[in-house]
Amino acid sequence: MAAIEFAWIPAEAEVDRHVYMGRAYLTLLATHDGSEARLLKCTAHGQSAYLPMLVRDVGCGQKEAYSAYGYGGLLGELDLSDADVEALRGFLSEESILAFFVRHSPFLGNQRQWPDSLVELNRRTYAAELRRSDHFDAYLKTVPQKLRWSVNYARRAGLQVSFQPLSQCPPERIQSFYRLYVGLMQQKQTLGYYLFSEEFFLEHARLLGAQCELAEIVDPESGELIAGAFFLLDSSGWAHYHLSAATATAMKLQGMELLLASAIHRYGNMGLRALHLGGGHALDESDGLSRFKAKFADRKPDFSCTKLICNEAGYQAERARLPLKHPNFFLISDARGS
């Protein structure tokens, strides 16, 4: 049996078809994280697959690797055997990478390309199949009655959803969405990483352009933004619910139900085949976010992770070298709270 081979490559068109794995998105997150975006090609048995990752220094010449915020994992035909994974550990260790945290892509099901023993179920996610429908009201006839009531309640309140590709979106509107988002995150006392920054939001426009759209709902009386979301679009046929925020008023008026229903209708008519809504907070789906997303879903793809320690001695030494604020976190930088 031929040994697996690994090589860093600068870019690959097939990877760019998937927005979370493409150069633009990885560059966006690498800049935010202070990491380096890399693409590893894995070849064995006449088949290939690609592993996008971000690589960051943890000190003393050592590094760690991880999938960017969102999703990643293998893209291609190659399934990894236990021996292939051991070879991957050895290759990354030689590159001074102590550990690799993989966020598999639920919409690709690419966790199945790894040995079962290395795949850890994290939570359920939600996906909606998309279809063409000439009129919004015709689409609404296909959804459950309770959801249809919520959407029509928002419409009777005068709420409307507008969409604009970021390639055509004035910076002021992105900044307005950022202020709404960061206010909500602060209110929820969300971890610092997920607060992001205004520049991070603006960079979506520069790097992703038409691959990212801003959906907005404004107050019909004041004109103030009360709900918004970024949607990522890729040429593989998927749309992705990316970042969102809404005021208490918008939530009370069922604004987010209207926003997501409008997105499903819009992207179906654009010819995309599915919208991935992401996951909730709890594996048992008992939390409010899970219940909200489940209302729109036709299926529930699993979100799974893989934790690879590539150099056990080096990994443990780096975890011991500096105090750990979050010792339960796998990645060294995350455990340090840095």
How would DSSP label each residue in 100-119? EEEEB-TTTTGGGGS-GGG-
Q: What pLDDT, on the 0 to 100 scale, is given for residue 239?
A: 98
| pLDDT tens, residue by residue, 314-325 | 999 999 999 999
Per-residue pLDDT band at 191 (split at 50, 70, 90): confident
Give me 226's structure tokens.
């009360």
Residue 114 has pLDDT above 90, yes or no: yes
Q: What pLDDT, on the 0 to 100 scale, is given for residue 2?
A: 58
* pLDDT, average across residues 122-129: 97
- CA dihedral angle for residue 104, residue 105, residue 106, residue 111, rounded to 10 degrees: -40
Q: What pLDDT, on the 0 to 100 scale, is given for residue 338?
A: 76
| CATH of 5-123+303-336 among 3.30.300.180, 3.40.1080.10, 3.40.630.30, 3.20.20.60 | 3.40.630.30
| pLDDT tens, residue by residue, 251-267 | 999 999 999 999 999 99
| pLDDT tens, residue by residue, 68-86 | 999 999 999 999 999 999 9
HEC letters along 280-320 = CCCCCCCCHHHHHHHCCCCECCEEEEEEEECCHHHHHHHHH
Q: What pLDDT, on the 0 to 100 scale, is given for residue 66?
A: 98
3-state secondary structure of 93: helix
Map out the domains of the chain as residue ranges. Answer: 5-123+303-336, 131-272
Average pLDDT, the chain: 96
Give me 141's structure tokens.
């006839």
CATH 3.40.630.30 for domain 131-272: yes
